[in-house]
Structure 1
Amino acid sequence: MKGSIYIPSDIIEEILYFIQNELTNKSDHLNNESSTLFNCLLVNRQWCKLVIPRLWRQPFLYVRKGNPKLISTFLTFLNDKSRRTLLSNGITLSSLHQNFHFYKFHRSQYRSNFNYASFLKHLHYDYMLSSIEEWCSYSNQSVGNAISLITNSLLKLFLDNNVKLMSLFVWPNHIHWTHYSSSRYMELVESEVSGLLSELKYLHIETHSKYPSARFFSKLSRIVNVKKFYLRTQLLGLMGFPNDLENEMARNISSLINSQTNLTSFTLSNSSRYTSDFIKSLSPNVHNIQNISLIETKIVEIDSWTILSNCINLQKLEIIKCAGLNVESIISFVSANWETLETILIENNQPIDVNNELEQWANKKRNMNNKNLL
């Protein structure tokens, strides 16, 4: 019987990369990706060692409805000090762990051979909070303060394992909450765990009702300096909250955008009332920006088009299902010097005549690019 064939690890990494890319283009790709990677774990020990870090670099991506088992796994890696803090606040990590000294001397029974906490690179924060809430419910913990204590313990755990997040996703509108509070987000921007975000490259923020709070955006602007920023502000400015709440949130979001000094890609989705403020906040980055996407956004003010015109190093532009456009506003935009612009996507904007005008400009630009390539 012939021995098993050895495949170099870098080849397996290429295979895994190809698998993930292929699955991303299919419907329900998250379920496909997670199940396929789990199957890859079973090939042999070499494959397992390479797949585990891939699965655990963004573990909460696959658990939109929350998964208490993920939280239980991470909690087994807490240091003694964090464990004592939880136990002293009445949080029992499991029926076996109620006795701290029992756990301390039998720790190897509960830990894996892999340090899962050290693999984290992309944090889907709301999905983590949802999982913590599910864990509290599953473990019969008194929810209230327990969510905050567990959240803080996990963030410190990641920091203790030298985690430097590459991506952060804040998606409050994707979650059905039982215990919702703006303080859930403030845990993430406290100074003692801010090191997690010090090397962040990609930030995806979505607003929902009053969450995250304006104060969260204010503190976040002093911590992160990203290259790519995706902002979705559905209904912001249309909710009619008292005490200038929405205006304050919009101001702090604008400050967050403005505070970024290395921004190369910006996507704005579902913006209505504050579009001009957000786009004008790109001013410090007009020479850095290479990709801009405006999706289902109301673009009325001419100032927005002026700022876009100043992004002279733009390589990719998408304007999709936007509203409020007018011919006069786009004159300076289509007349700008776009030497680096290579990819243009104009689709289903309103009114139709302005969309057609932009499409004609895009076609001319594409034809010019094609001639230059000949």
Structure 2
Amino acid sequence: MACKLPTDCLNEIFEYLEEDKFTLHSCLLVNHLWCEISVRILWRNILNFKFHSKRSFKVEFSILSTLIACLPDESKKHLYDNKVFISTPTSKPLLFNYVSFCKALSIFGINRMIDNSLSSKDKSSLVANEIIKMFANQISSLKKLTYHIYCFDSYNNNYYVSNITFPHFSGARDLLELCCNSNLSSDFFYQLSQICRNLQSISIDFNDNIVSNELKELISLQNNLKHLTLSAFDGSWADIIPAVSKHSRTITKLNFYGSDSNSTFSFISLFSNLQELIISFFDAVDFENFKKLQYVNFPKLQILKIPYERPKLEYIIKFLEINGKTLKKLYIGESDKDLGLSIAKFCPNLKSLFIILKNDELDILKTVLINCQYLESIKIWYGKDYFIDYLPEKEIFETIAKYSPNNFCELKIFNYANSVISSDDLESFFIRWEKRISKKLLSLIIIVNEGDNYYDNISSKILEVIEKYEDLGTVKFLTKSNDKEIKEEEEDYYYY
């Protein structure tokens, strides 16, 4: 007789499968208990899937039809009376109250899902209001809320506009993460401020320079705010600074995103416990505030990411001189020789680095590898674009094999041109890697532009070499699109 695992054990095992949707879906078919546990995890955040994949619209409609089936009879009748007809997956009673499992709610995601299924925008708003009202009544403990009045969907080249009346939501008292526009109704912020005091993460997109007192009050009342993201393109976060500054002791992660020279960030100096700082600006003018920030010491700072424009060279070098020793991860989207040498000099404890090096700067890579003895992962561009010749592929491999520290185990290469390395050179690299004192498996990750296929640009001999050393356990090889890499590395302001 087969051994039956206790429910608590199954719950703990299935939690590890949260990101593995394929496996979780297969668990649905085992038995009722496995199905219930899997459904609870799958419905925790129902919009957490790749929206622009080939199956995305089918998945969206499947979710929408299930939500329609979950609606109370009163709401179904209201939609029917208004000639809104959306098929449901079954005419039989549903096995579970799927809505009650939800812990994350995206107003934008719901609106887009409905808009993709209905042609009438008026009817879309009607459906959205009924669904959100159902969520408000049936979710007992909401953990994440994403609420934007409008948002641009680059895939469909379309703006999605929310035209809903946000209901009283008692389950929001347990809210941990809020993503929203600054110009939402003051009633919405007032409602949250009355019941929600334990937000750990707030992301705000500033629009039209509208910041209500209710939003400021909501921020001020939080007890343990840790992460803050401020995004501004057609607005400014200046009015929010006093409320945010009250949390200077608890906030450990700050993310600034946008392009607005009026949005100062010199108040960062107040955050003495800062561990992670991300500044994603598209205009160097926005970095004038960094002139003062360069002298500030952040004794706990471990992660610094500046993926687009960067401050003036002398500013960032001075900042690294003061703060570089504590950094574990550094990502700078623009670089030059002096900055590369400064990284090697001032950041000896780095574990992960993204650096841009030109064709004549191989010595910088060598210096970084020698000086940063804790380095485990590095991302480098190779090839040639319209303006810059980057490091040649062969020289990158040779330098990594010869000078990388013992803990090094991950090489990411952005593929700006077709691979020109020979199969013999690649095999020589793998052989040298095998002979290292440290027997770490090397993760070799080739990053390509969205829509490109790395395998179309390499010879069968190179594939044979890769497969050979994968079988020997020397290397783990994979490719990923640049879009996915950007999302993972930069952690920009994304709407779900």
Q: CA deviation at 1:298?
A: 5.9
Q: CA deviation at 1:54?
A: 0.7
SS in 2 for 1:203: strand
1:268-347 correspondence runs (5 A): 268-269=230-231, 274-295=236-257, 304-305=265-266, 307-312=267-272, 314-322=273-281, 323=284, 324-326=286-288, 328-330=291-293, 334-335=296-297, 338=298, 341=300, 343-347=302-306
Comparing 112-121 and 146-155, the one that deviates more = 146-155
2:153 and 2:160 in contact (8 A); partners too: no
Deviations 1:8-41 (A, max 9, x none): 3333333333233xx5xxxxxxxxx332321232
Gaps of 5+ in 1: 24-32, 98-106, 138-142, 208-212, 237-245
Q: Is 1:6 the counterpart of 2:10 in the alignment? A: no
**TM-score, normalized by length of structure 1?**
0.69
Deviations 1:37-93 (A, max 9, x none): 212323433321211011111112227355222222122222222222222223345
**1:182 and 1:124, CA in 2 relative to 1: closer, same or farther beyond 3 A?**
closer
CA distance in 2, matches of 1:71, 1:108: 13
CA RMSD after TM alignment: 3.5
**1:269 and 1:149, CA in 2 relative to 1: closer, same or farther beyond 3 A?**
closer
1:13 and 1:50 in contact (8 A); partners too: yes
SS in 2 for 1:268: strand
Q: Is 1:125 the counterpart of 2:114 in the alignment? A: no
Q: CA deviation at 1:282?
A: 0.9
What is the identity, as a one-letter code, of the residue corresponding to 2:268? L
2:28 and 2:34 in contact (8 A); partners too: yes
What is the identity, as a one-letter code, of the residue corresponding to 1:229? I
Q: How many residues align?
A: 307
Q: Which residue of 2 aligns with 1:231?
A: 204
CA distance in 2, matches of 1:72, 1:344: 42
**1:364 and 1:290, CA in 2 relative to 1: closer, same or farther beyond 3 A?**
same
What is the identity, as a one-letter code, of the residue corresponding to 1:220? F
Q: Among residues 55, 68, 80, which one is paired with 2:42 in the alignment?
A: 55
What is the identity, as a one-letter code, of the residue corresponding to 2:161? S
Q: Which has the higher helix share?
A: 1
Deviations 1:225-257 (A, max 9, x none): 422012356xx6xxxxxxxxx233xx34x8625
SS in 2 for 1:229: strand
Gaps of 5+ in 2: 328-345, 350-496
Comparing 270-279 and 287-296, the one that deviates more = 270-279
What is the identity, as a one-letter code, of the residue corresponding to 1:197? A
Q: Which has the higher strand share?
A: 2
CA distance in 2, matches of 1:169, 1:160: 18
Q: Which residue of 1 aligns with 2:320?
A: 359
Structure whose CA Rg is larger? 2
CA distance in 2, matches of 1:218, 1:173: 23
**1:155 and 1:279, CA in 2 relative to 1: closer, same or farther beyond 3 A?**
same
1:1-374 correspondence runs (5 A): 3-20=1-18, 23=19, 33-62=20-49, 64=51, 66=57, 67-94=60-87, 109-137=91-119, 143-170=120-147, 172-174=151-153, 176=156, 180-183=160-163, 186-187=164-165, 189=166, 192-205=167-180, 214=183, 216-224=184-192, 225=196, 226-232=199-205, 246-248=208-210, 251-252=211-212, 256=215, 259-260=218-219, 261-262=221-222, 263-269=225-231, 274-295=236-257, 304-305=265-266, 307-312=267-272, 314-322=273-281, 323=284, 324-326=286-288, 328-330=291-293, 334-335=296-297, 338=298, 341=300, 343-347=302-306, 349-365=310-326
Deviations 1:189-242 (A, max 9, x none): 3xx33435343210123x6xxxxx82x253332133422012356xx6xxxxxx
